[in-house]
Amino acid sequence: MLKGILNYAHYLLEEAINQDEIVIDATCGNGNDTLFLSELVGEHGKVLAFDIQKEAITATRQRVIEHERTNVFLIHDSHENIAKYLPANKDEKISGAIFNLGYLPKSDKKIITKPDSTITAIDTILEHLRKDGIIVIVVYHGHEGGKEEKEAILKHLFHLDQQQYSVLRYGFINQKNDPPFILAIQKKAN
Ligand SMILES: C[S@@+](CC[C@H](N)C(=O)[O-])C[C@H]1O[C@@H](n2cnc3c(N)ncnc32)[C@H](O)[C@@H]1O
C-alpha cells in the first residue's frame, strides 16, 4: 500500500533516526510529531521542539507530561533562531527534523510559517545534520500565503548540490484541493 502523507513522513524519520540522537520538531503545534520523535530517540536522546505560539507550546507541554516524556525541550521561539539552541559542540550533530508548514489547525489561520524563516531554519539544520540524517517537510499550501511558501522552498531545494544532498518529493497527484506533499532532504556526506 502507498503510505499516506503523515505516515510516510514518520516512516522517513524512523528510517534515519536512532536512539540517543538529537532531533528537531521545527513546528510543534499540538505535539504529535514531538511525541513521535521523543519515542524514536528514547530517554537518552533529545527533542528540541519549536513554535512561535504560546498556545502550541502549552498544548505540546501537556502531551509531553501526559506521556511522561523527559527528553523534550520546548522552545517558544521562531525556528529561524534554531542556531541559538543547538549544542555548542559542533561534533554533536542533528540526525533528523520535521516541519509541518502552514497554520495550527483550529487556531488563527493568519499565523503561518513564512518562506524566509522556513528557509533559514532548513539551511541552519542542514549545516548541523549528520551524514544520512534527514529533514522532512510536510508542505501544506492551500491556505493564503501557502503557495508563495511552497514555491520559495521548491526553488531553494532545487538548487541544493546533488553531491551533498538527495532531495525527494512525495505526494498524490490526483487529489483535489491542494493536497499536502512531502519534501525530504537527506545528507549524503558530512
Ligand atoms: C501545521 S502546524 C504544526 C502541527 C504539528 N506538527 C502537530 O503535530 O500538531 C504549524 C505550526 O507552525 C507554527 N509556526 C509558524 N511559524 C513558525 C516559526 N517561524 N517558528 C516556529 N513555529 C512556527 C505555528 O504556530 C503552528 O503551530
- Check if 99 has its Cβ closer than 6 Å to any atom of ligand 1: no
**How many CB atoms lie under 10 A from the CB of residue 71?**
18
- Check if 49 has its Cβ closer than 6 Å to any atom of ligand 1: no
- Check if 52 has its Cβ closer than 6 Å to any atom of ligand 1: yes
Residue 69 alpha carbon to ligand 1 centre in Å: 20
For residues 102, 159, 82, 113, the Cα torsion angle rounded to the nearest 10 degrees is -10
Give the chain's domains with CATH numbers: 5-187 (3.40.50.150)
Among protein residues, the one with the nearest Cα to ligand 1's atom 12 is 27
Tens of pLDDT along the chain (190 residues) come to 999 999 999 999 999 999 999 999 999 999 999 999 999 999 999 999 999 999 999 999 999 999 999 999 999 999 999 999 998 888 899 999 999 999 999 899 999 999 999 999 999 999 999 999 999 999 999 999 999 999 999 999 999 999 999 999 999 999 999 999 999 999 998 7
List C-alpha distances in Å: 65 to 15, 31, 59: 26, 11, 10
